[in-house]
Amino acid sequence: MLIPLVAIALGLGVLIWSSERFVDGAVGTAHHLKLPPFVIGTVIVGVGTSAPEFLVSGLAAWQGQPGLAIGNAYGSNIANIGLILGTALLLSSMRVGAGIVRREMMLLVAATVASRVLIGDGLIGRFDALLLVVPLIVYLAVIVRQAHRTPSTDAAASPADTDASHAGARGLGRSLFWLTLGLVLLLASSRLLVWGASTIATALGVSDLIIGLTIVSIGTSLPELAASISAIRRKAYDLVLGNVVGSNLFNTLGVVGFAGLITPIGIEPSVASRDWPVMLAMTLLLVVFAMRFGRGPARLTRLEGAILLSVFVAYTGALIASALATAG
């Protein structure tokens, strides 16, 4: 157990340091390219920090561990909203930008509902996987094109609020360097962390689905958590929301789709009856909190963050209790 424990400690330390560098690079790049921070959060930060889920689920599918593949993706979505956004909101309430942020949230709801249709027969086949991956590719192409064609007042906008002007002063080359180095270290450290945690969990005889839904999903979501906390400190709120929404879209469509392209994924009944409903409920809670529906300027509050975090803790606690009962 010593080597896995060392891997966990080392992975956490490197992850915390590299997240700071990564967010610095992302905000600086947004400033230089005159892209909205939300777009950087969705395309670069959201997709980039989802790479651990992408790699872990793809490897799990290839090695014949479908429970780990689907559990990692869906568990990470639940962790992104409950653990990451909930924790970030406890640190600071945040405004919700109009327009693009809200549209992306509705797309996330649509993708979540569509995923239920595809897992309904207990299998994600290769055709199902294509139905997930193709819309993601189209979505990413549209959002990048829209960002270039439509000037935004948020484009690295509000430098006083996001420190983008400070990051931009460092130069585009340096921003890209820290963005790339930070991402590489985030991926490496999160993988090391997940390896250590998974090794310990496997030795205790826990199923691969439960490992995917708890230890692996939380571990692969740590880059999003670290990046979001760093962004909160800079008041780059669109970056935080873009990170969570973009990561969840990528997990639902890209991570599951990529794993299904490698090999058809069998879906345990508990995924459709227990885990997917929790993922949908968390997504709908986020939409309700963010939309406000005419109650004034949209703003996510600390109380709402506490609710999201409480749901996540209750769900994870139930999974752990179930795993212990089964192992016992």
Q: What is the pLDDT of residues 166-178, one digit of tens each?
A: 544 568 888 889 8
Q: Return the minimum-mean-pLDDT range out of 83-87, 163-167, 236-240, 315-319.
A: 163-167
Q: What is the pLDDT of residue 30?
A: 74
Q: What is the pLDDT of residue 149?
A: 67
More reliable by pLDDT, 328 or 88: 88
- List the domains of the chain with CATH numbers: 38-154+198-327 (1.20.1420.30)
Q: What are phi and psi of 266, to 5 degrees?
A: -75, 135
Task: Using the predicted structure, report yes or no on whether residue 215 has a pLDDT greater than 60.
Answer: yes
Q: Return the minimum-mean-pLDDT range out of 120-124, 239-243, 300-304.
A: 239-243
Q: What is the mean pLDDT of residues 301-314?
A: 95
Q: What is the mean pLDDT of residues 195-201?
A: 78
Say if CB 308 and CB 88 are below 8 A apart. Answer: no
Q: Return the minimum-mean-pLDDT range out of 151-165, 250-264, 296-310.
A: 151-165
Task: Using the predicted structure, report yes or no on whether residue 194 has a pLDDT greater than 90.
Answer: no
**CA nearest neighbour of 95 among 267, 235, 272:** 235
**CA nearest neighbour of 253 among 148, 112, 147, 150:** 112
> In angstroms, what is the C-alpha Rg of the chain?
19
Q: What is the pLDDT of residue 154?
A: 43
**How many other CB atoms sit within 10 Å of the CB of residue 224?**
32
Instruction: In whole angstroms, give the CA distance from residue 209 to residue 40.
Output: 32
Q: What is the pLDDT of residue 292?
A: 64
Burial level of 203, CB count in 10 A (0-12/13-18/19+)?
exposed
Q: What is the pLDDT of residue 284?
A: 94
pLDDT band at 103 (very low <50, low <70, confident <90, very high): confident
Q: Return the minimum-mean-pLDDT range out of 66-75, 163-172, 259-268.
A: 163-172
Q: What is the pLDDT of residue 153?
A: 45
Q: What is the pLDDT of residue 296?
A: 52
pLDDT band at 163 (very low <50, low <70, confident <90, very high): very low
Specify the amino acid at residue 90: L
pLDDT mean across residues, the chain: 81
Say if CB 105 and CB 300 are below 8 A apart. Answer: no
pLDDT band at 41 (very low <50, low <70, confident <90, very high): low
Name the strand (E) or helix (H) holding 123. Answer: strand 123-124
